[in-house]
Amino acid sequence: MWQNEVKRVALGIRRRVFEHTIKNKGGYLSQACSAADFLATLYVKTLKLGPSIAPPIPKPFAGSPSANNPDSFTGAGYHGAKAPELDRFFISPAHYALVIYAALVEIGRMAPEGLEMFNQDGGSVEMIGAEHSPGMEVTTGSLAQGLSMAAGVALARKLKQEPGRVWVFLSDGELQEGQTWEAFQAIRHYNLNNLAIIIDLNEQQCDGAMAEVLDLGNAAEKLIAFGAYVMEVDGHDIEAVQKAGEIRPSKGALVILAKTNPCQGMDYLEQRRPKLHYVRFQSQQQAQTLEAAVRKQLEFSDR
């Protein structure tokens, strides 16, 4: 049953990001907590992707793209080959890279060695996902550009009459940028209903809780006003996410607003609120306490 596989993958994502965070004395742990369940659902069940065509162990960095560099590559191959009937999947908040890499390992699209290469000199597995990093196809380290690029791909696919969908993953912080709203206007105007968007509504950003930094207000209302077909779901309810992902609106792009908890699966992290964006340790003691608590919870999670 697909649900069991999704749960296995989601737990695996949390475990891998946790192990990585302990080993490297810091990491994007809360992003794994908020996104693991719906990312697992997408990768296991919702997305129509072909098998990976990229090397299981990522290649070293081969230079930036240019007319003179035939060796440059992107991480798109980990999502399979492009074909008219297959989906595409763009990751807009490149800071979720660690979570994406963990997901790719869990579903067998990348070898575990790939995760070991995280942030290594000369490697392509960058801390903030670069275009050449596994699972990445475009440059999204500067936020709120992924949606516009995905929209361009969506228009192109419509013009070529390709049936596959264009999925793009956004973080809620990106709704602060003006470009996001420019994109939704264009998406509505050109009825890019082959575009499907999932937003991690974990209500956190770099400075802390979004409500304190720059309050988002009612995201669903805003998106609906801009012409999106909005489905609000509990981002940890894998069946609800999957069901929402099956909707193909005739008018408007599908936007799944996944309401999530940035401490889901690691209750101990609640103590860290509101500083959850990047989890680091001030002391050995702190690290050990967190490690013990979370490890205990993760070990018991699949019983």
Partner 1 sequence: MNIVTKPYVNAFLNFARDKPEVLCLTADLTSSCEVDQFREQYPTRFFSMGMTEQHTLSFCGGLAMEGFRPFFHTFSVFLYRRPYDQLINSIAYSNRQVRLMGFLPGITTPGGITHQAIEDIAVLRSVPNMTLLETGDATEVETVLEVADAVSGPVYVRVLRGLVPRLFETPFRFNQLRTLSEGQDVLVLSAGITTEEAMRASKALAAAGIGVTHLHASTLKPFAKQQFLDAVADIKHGIVTIENHTVVGGLGSIIAEILAEEGIGKKLIRLGLQDTFAHGASRPYLMKKYGLDAMALVAAIEQLLNQSLGITENNLSAVRLEEVHSVAKAEAL
Instruction: Tell me the window of 30-38, 151-159, 223-231, 240-248 that interacts with partner 1 (CB under 8 A).
Output: 151-159
- If binding is defined by CB under 8 A, does position 292 make contact with partner 1? no
What is the closest distance, in whole angstroms, from the C-beta atom of residue 242 to partner 1 in the complex?
Answer: 27
Binding mask 54-93 for partner 1 (x = CB under 8 A): ----------xxxx--------------------------
Site for partner 1 in 208-247 (CB under 8 A): none
How far apart, in whole angstroms, are the C-alpha atoms of residue 135 and residue 90? 8
Q: Are 164 and 193 in contact (CB under 8 A)?
A: no
Instruction: Tell me the window of 20-28, 42-50, 174-182, 228-236 that interacts with partner 1 (CB under 8 A).
Output: 174-182
- If binding is defined by CB under 8 A, does position 139 make contact with partner 1? yes
Q: Which is nearer to partner 1, 160 or 251 (CB)?
A: 160
As to burial, measured by CB atoms within 10 angstroms (0-12 exposed, 13-18 middle, 19+ buried), residue 28 is: buried
Q: Which residues contact 227 (CB under 8 A, 6 or more apart)?
A: 184, 185, 187, 188, 252, 253
Tokens representing 236 are 């940890």
What is the C-alpha R_g of the chain? Answer: 18
- If binding is defined by CB under 8 A, does position 251 make contact with partner 1? no
Size of the site for partner 1 (CB under 8 A): 32
Q: Which is nearer to partner 1, 139 or 301 (CB)?
A: 139
Residue of 55, 59, 164, 190 that binds partner 1 (CB under 8 A): 190
- In single-letter form, the type of residue at position 22 comes to I
Q: Which is nearer to partner 1, 145 or 264 (CB)?
A: 145
- In single-letter form, the type of residue at position 50 comes to G
Q: Which is nearer to partner 1, 32 or 76 (CB)?
A: 76
Tokens representing 194 are 């082959």
Tokens representing 203 are 């209500």
- If binding is defined by CB under 8 A, does position 53 make contact with partner 1? no
How far apart, in whole angstroms, are the C-alpha atoms of residue 278 and residue 139? 21
Residue of 46, 124, 133, 140 that binds partner 1 (CB under 8 A): 140
Instruction: Tell me the window of 34-42, 120-128, 144-152, 282-290 that interacts with partner 1 (CB under 8 A).
Output: 144-152
Instruction: Tell me the window of 55-63, 153-161, 222-230, 247-255 that interacts with partner 1 (CB under 8 A).
Output: 153-161
How far apart, in whole angstroms, are the C-alpha atoms of residue 119 and residue 153? 29
Residue of 5, 19, 182, 291 that binds partner 1 (CB under 8 A): 182
Pairing of β 279-280 and β 204-205: unpaired
Q: Which is nearer to partner 1, 65 or 249 (CB)?
A: 65
**Does an H or E element contain 258, and which?**
strand 254-259
Q: Are 30 and 280 in contact (CB under 8 A)?
A: no
Tokens representing 250 are 């005739």
Beta bridge partners of 200: 171, 258
Residue of 9, 32, 105, 149 that binds partner 1 (CB under 8 A): 149
- If binding is defined by CB under 8 A, does position 120 make contact with partner 1? no
Find how far residue 213's CA is from the centre of its chain: 22
> Can you give the binding site for partner 1, defined by CB under 8 A?
64-67, 131, 137-142, 145, 148-157, 159-160, 178-179, 182-183, 185-186, 189-190
